[in-house]
Amino acid sequence: MFCLRACLAVPLFSACLAHAAPACKPGQPVDESGFVEIGGIAQWVTVSGDDCANPVLLYVHGGPGNPTSVFGAGPYASWRKHITLAQWDQRGSGMTWGRHRPGEDVPLRIEQLRDDGLDVARYLTQRFGRDKVILLGSSWGSMIGAHMAKEKPGLFCAYVGVAQLVGYRDNATSWSTVIARARAANDTATVTQLEALGPPPWTNPRNFGIVRRAVRKYEAPNIDPTPPSWFEVLPLYASPQAKADYTEGEDYSFLKFVGWKGDGMASTMDLYRLGTRYELPVYLVQGTEDLLTEPKVTRRFFEAITAPDKALVEVPRAGHDPNGPLIDAQRQVLAERLQWRCD
């Protein structure tokens, strides 16, 4: 089921599920947004590009609970002439949260999000007449993306992991790295905050936010700034209700990530346990200044995996969040490794 933009003339959160219309013809642009039946519930999917004949790229957003559909194509707008960009508001986040709000006692699991993502990929292959799509996951989305790539490699012509999460224990080194930076800078306030938290694992979700702010502080002097225009919220997502849904979905997803006793999705993250053999090309794009998913962790994982083709692109002047060098490096991977194709 798909709800085209025409359906959005009705109230934003009304029941607007319809049978999928025929896909656009080669040479025609595509610009669709609406609810698709995924995993038994209505989930929000947007698709945009300049030519319906181009390969489809499924972008798996980070967070948890931070859909990027609110920004349109955002940092990937210049890719429209080469690919058709599909984005999906994951279960428990964004527009999907607005339509389907699970109770606080309803669990959220990596495997569930993986299966939802696979359903989105299958939907895209059917709607646009493709055998496969390109899979790109960023930050939290890279954990979901890696699980998707392992589970059904035949759905994808390649997996691109950006700021790749590897595992809770592996990526827990971030705390010690940041506190070392703060001590070297005689930043007493930050040191005091981080010492009060202690090293992970944590049970208080607020601890992650404190570390995240410190990460951004110590990445900032060494990275290129992100253009503000990339993250301007589109009018469709700017209503008070849409904003409230985004915030509430973010809170829900993050609580499920941490868990009330440190037993949430984060505690189950371990790509080594998942297995290091991949049956499709794997390309990892990593900012050299990333203090959240650190280069040393990504490098060690990359060296451990086997794949039909693989590459690790380490990007100077880039941290964890998207910026010009990081987006350019992803573009380079698609242009050089895939020639903007998905065969």
pLDDT tens digits, 171-222: 999 999 999 999 999 999 999 999 999 998 888 888 999 999 999 999 999 9
Cα dihedral sign for 30, 145, 179, 185?
Answer: negative
Residue 225 domain-assigned (yes or no): yes
Domain carrying residue 251: 23-337
Residue 90 domain-assigned (yes or no): yes
Residue 18 domain-assigned (yes or no): no
Residue 94 pLDDT level (bands cut at 50, 70, 90): very high
For residue 201, whether the previous peptide bond is cis, meaning omega lies within 30 degrees of 0, is yes
Count, in order, helices (H) and strands (E) of the chain.
Answer: 11, 8
Strand 156-162 with 133-138, pairing: parallel
Q: How far apart are CA 26 and CA 16, in angstroms?
A: 27
Residue 139 domain-assigned (yes or no): yes
Residue 2 domain-assigned (yes or no): no
Tell me whether residue 224 is exposed, middle or buried, using C-beta atoms within 10 angstroms of its C-beta: 0 to 12, 13 to 18, 19 or more.
middle
pLDDT given at position 22:
56
Average pLDDT (284-307) is: 98
Average pLDDT (3-15) is: 32
Residue 3 domain-assigned (yes or no): no
Q: Is the pLDDT of residue 1 over 80?
A: no
Residue 218 domain-assigned (yes or no): yes
**CATH value at residue 320:** 3.40.50.1820
Residue 342 domain-assigned (yes or no): no
Counting the structural domains of the chain, the total is 1
pTM for the whole structure? 0.93
List beta partners, residue 37. Answer: 42
* Whether 214 contacts 70, CB under 8 Å: no
